[in-house]
Amino acid sequence: MNLIAAIWGALGVTLLVGKSCQSLFKYADEALQSGLSTYQWIILVLYALFMLYFEGYKGFQKKFSPRTAARVHYLYNNPRPLHALLAPFFCMGYFHAKRKVKIAAIAISTLILCVIFLMDFCPQPWRGIIDVGVILGLSYGLLSFGCFLIKVFTTKDHGISPEVPE
């Protein structure tokens, strides 16, 4: 059960983030195909760099990816039926996590839902420009998550806390 739970956790997180990238791609592609002005290209590049740094590096690589990978590893070593069943949500810190991690997971999810709702009111090409940045940040995040998964499963003492209450 431990290997299946860990695979389900890692794969579930990857699919959730990957599905987000996939669903945003059509808007990003539509904006890029529309013939952006020089000003819009400058905004796109600046925003893409902003998202790569703040979402990809600061958000994923420094916080989410190491903790989530450590939680996948924790789940592998400490499988419980409920944690295994809901492995992607366990790994993202929605439950059986320190209070700070649970609050962050819920707050970020709520913020994302609000942004998704507000994006319906954003016209092209601006929606696509924003989505390009988000896709880049999420893609960077997925790569960092993969790297941390390798680290936690190949390093005896990886030193990354799964942030569980025990």
SS3 state at 22:
helix
Closest C-alpha to 7, from 149, 165, 151: 149
- pLDDT at position 112 is 84
Tell me the two tokens of residue 36: 């952006």
* pLDDT tens by residue, 7-40: 999 999 999 999 999 999 999 999 999 999 999 9
| pTM of the predicted model as reported, rounded to 2 decimal places | 0.92
End-to-end CA separation in angstroms for the chain = 21
For residue 59, what pLDDT band results from cuts at 50, 70 and 90?
Answer: very high
Return the DSSP state at 35: -
Tell me the two tokens of residue 61: 């690589």
* pLDDT tens by residue, 115-159: 888 888 999 999 999 999 999 999 999 999 999 999 999 998 899
Tell me the two tokens of residue 102: 């649970």
Closest C-alpha to 79, from 164, 158, 148, 6: 6
3 vs 116: which has the higher pLDDT: 3
Tell me the two tokens of residue 45: 């590049």
Closest C-alpha to 93, from 79, 81, 107, 111: 107
